[in-house]
Amino acid sequence: MKKILLTAAAIVGMFAAQAQIKEGTVTYSVTVDGIPPEQASMMKGMELTMSFKDKKSRAEFSSAMMSTITVSDDDGSLTLMDGMGQKSYIKMTKADIEKESKKNPEPKITYSEEKKTIAGYECKKAVVEVKDQKGETQKLNVWYCEKLPYTSGGRMAGQFKGLKGAPLEFDSNQGPMKMKMTATKVTTSPVSDSQFKVSTEGYTEMKMEDMQKMRGGK
């Protein structure tokens, strides 16, 4: 479950001020195969909703087990996590994000001219190769949209660093587990500024060391 949450977090901050479309919301469906039936039942109905406006973004991830909200801007990011009887949050400054980004090698991206339409937007295919904390290579098949440029402004967003557009669909294999995220809806309706303000009341702060343990890092 933690790998799914961390992969979802990787696309936070992908929409930035230089995007042709400066404001809107993208909804993703999330599916996972190759896991025990008891785990699969708890992961049904997973969804990620990404809202963006200028240099601000908000990502909401929900499943039967856990929900998270991450808001991000030029100054850093704040993530609230609610699940398994615990409520916690982690705050990262711009310097924290840059430090974390330097730990991750640049991904290798191979582009193709293969195209398909996702949520009404034309996308092209790319294969992204990234290395995890153990140095093992992971390949992701990505369909990206050039009308929604990607930037590495969010926590862990270096996974797609350099990609020519925002990923509207991608899949990855982690051992027997296969995860796929697909945009089901893209809107350009105005987003209220209140969406980028969240409260940590009732939540316990999580330290960077704890987040690194979740990622399997040192």
**DSSP labels, 109-122:** EEEEEEEEEETTEE
Per-residue tokens: 108: 């290798």
Per-residue model confidence (pLDDT) at position 184 = 94
Domain count of the chain? 1
Please tell me the distance from the alpha carbon of residue 178 to that of residue 181, in angstroms, as a whole number. 10
Instruction: Give the position of tokens 């190769």.
Output: 129
Q: What is the mean pLDDT of each run of 10 residues along the chain (218 residues)?
A: 50 45 85 80 80 86 86 90 90 84 81 95 93 77 83 54 86 81 91 94 86 57
> For residue 18, what pLDDT is reported?
36
- pLDDT for 172: 80
Q: Kindly tell me the burial class for residue 13, based on how many C-beta atoms sit within 10 Å of its own C-beta (0-12, 13-18, 19 or more).
A: buried
- pLDDT for the residue 155: 43
Report the alpha-carbon distance of residue 126 to residue 141 in Å, rounded. 6
| Whether the Cβ atoms of residue 209 and residue 202 lie closer than 8 Å to each other | no
**Distance between CA atoms of 26 and 185, rounded to whole angstroms?**
6
CATH number for the domain that contains residue 63: 2.50.20
User: What residues have CB less than 8 Å from 152, skipping those under 6 apart?
Assistant: 13, 101, 158, 160, 161
The boundaries of the domain holding residue 186 are 2-215
pLDDT at 153: 45
C-alpha dihedral, 17 to 21 to 24 to 28, nearest 10°: -100
85 by Cβ neighbours in 10 Å (0-12 / 13-18 / 19+) ranks as: exposed
Per-residue model confidence (pLDDT) at position 212: 63
